[in-house]
Amino acid sequence: MLKSLFNHLQTQRPLAWAQLSHQKTRLAVAMGGIAFANVLIFMQLGFRTLFTEGATTLPASLKGDLFLLNPSTEFLGANGFDRIRLYQAGGIKGVASTIPVYINQSTWAYSKEQTSFQARVFAFNPSQIVFNIPEINQQREKLKIPHSVLFDRLAKPSFGPIPQLFAQKGEVKALLKNHRIAVVGLFNLGNSFFLGEGNLMMSEDNYADLFGENALNQVSVGIITLNPGTNREAVKAGIVANIPGVKAYTHEELIAKELQFQNTNPTGPIFSFGAIMGFIVGVVIVYQVLYADISDHLAQYATLKAMGYSDLALLGVIFQEAAILGILGFIPGFVTSFGMYSFLSVITRLQLVMSLNIAVTVFILTMFMCIASAAITSNKLRSADPADVF
């Protein structure tokens, strides 16, 4: 049965596929053009997703019920607030604990001869759980060691071969703000457009030694945990009513705040515009292929009209060709983009991941791109007049 079906498809090929496969060079060029447009769209959407999701990497990794920020803070780490406000929040009914988190920038160098790079430093009390990152929580005791840090293994290669050396020796020395420190553990947080080139975790005691005791007076993020059964909104309202100089956010609101700030940044719209340009390139390429195909076979289409085929039936052939081109062009475009995602992730240490959402979005855009081209080209098909042939 399968053999007979295969033979039938071989001898009775659909007209749309017969038209496309008749000139294999043109088909190959069309597939390459659509694949090129797909790669453009894939890369732009991938960068845009990386840009927006990178903004949520840090807030999504924090563990707590409510989070306090300076009201003027546009993004995490931008401004701090007086630590006394956190103590005041601890006195509100229902609050179980308050934890200060400090975020700062400092120079990092693997050795005295190496060029310094900007590292982002996170500090907290290691006796308390601050992050939803298991590796950090499992190594909190190590942070109590004087002059010690945990190192993000996803830092850029310019920070030195720290993960490899740590695997060999169990501890690595480096320079942070021109102070000798020891890397006593590794974790994964990952880089983004916002987290700099490398991330470090340390205790608040080591943070005070590095930046001075007064640095502990300015808290970047205040984490509040509540007693079981406590009304979160009631505590939040109590903070607003009784504690000036801070603003409280739920976890969802904190993530939304970071995204809102990035929406004011022109980089996101630039990537969106790049995706639109890729879409337009694809429309032009498919249009040219279909227009050339109709022009070359205009007499044959006119003959089919004379035989009784309606305009609608012939338009169906053109739309089938467009759909076939979309599918055939999407496959190499997807494979190429997947490889480029992986390559860029390795060399940039940014988590550029081919998500199902991106793949489905680009496939839908590809099919729409091809169908739109077919719709534009259909005007040429209507000009096929049997009288011109006979």
Using CA atoms, how far residue 152 sits from 89, 186, 199, 231, 368, in Å, is 32, 6, 5, 36, 42
Of 121, 129, 124, 128, residue with least CA distance to 104: 121
Q: What is the pTM of this model?
A: 0.71
Strand partners, 103: 122
How many angstroms separate the CA atoms of 63 and 40, rounded? 37
In sequence order, which residues have a C-beta less than 8 Å from that of residue 368 and are 6 or more positions away?
Answer: none
pLDDT on residue 10: 45
Alpha-carbon Rg for the chain in angstroms: 30
Q: Are 89 and 95 in contact (CB under 8 A)?
A: yes
Instruction: Kindly state the tokens that stand for 44.
Output: 């732009």
Using CA atoms, how far residue 279 sits from 92, 187, 206, 272, 371, in Å, is 54, 39, 52, 11, 12
How do residues 232-275 score in pLDDT, each as one tens digit?
999 999 998 889 989 999 999 998 888 777 766 666 677 777 78
How many angstroms separate the CA atoms of 107 and 178, rounded? 8
Positions in the chain whose pLDDT score sits under 70? 1-13, 52-55, 113-115, 191-196, 263-268, 297-302, 304-306, 308-311, 347-351, 380-390
Of 274, 281, 272, residue with least CA distance to 372: 281
How do residues 156-186 score in pLDDT, each as one tens digit?
888 888 989 998 888 899 999 989 999 999 9
How many angstroms separate the CA atoms of 364 and 49, rounded? 17
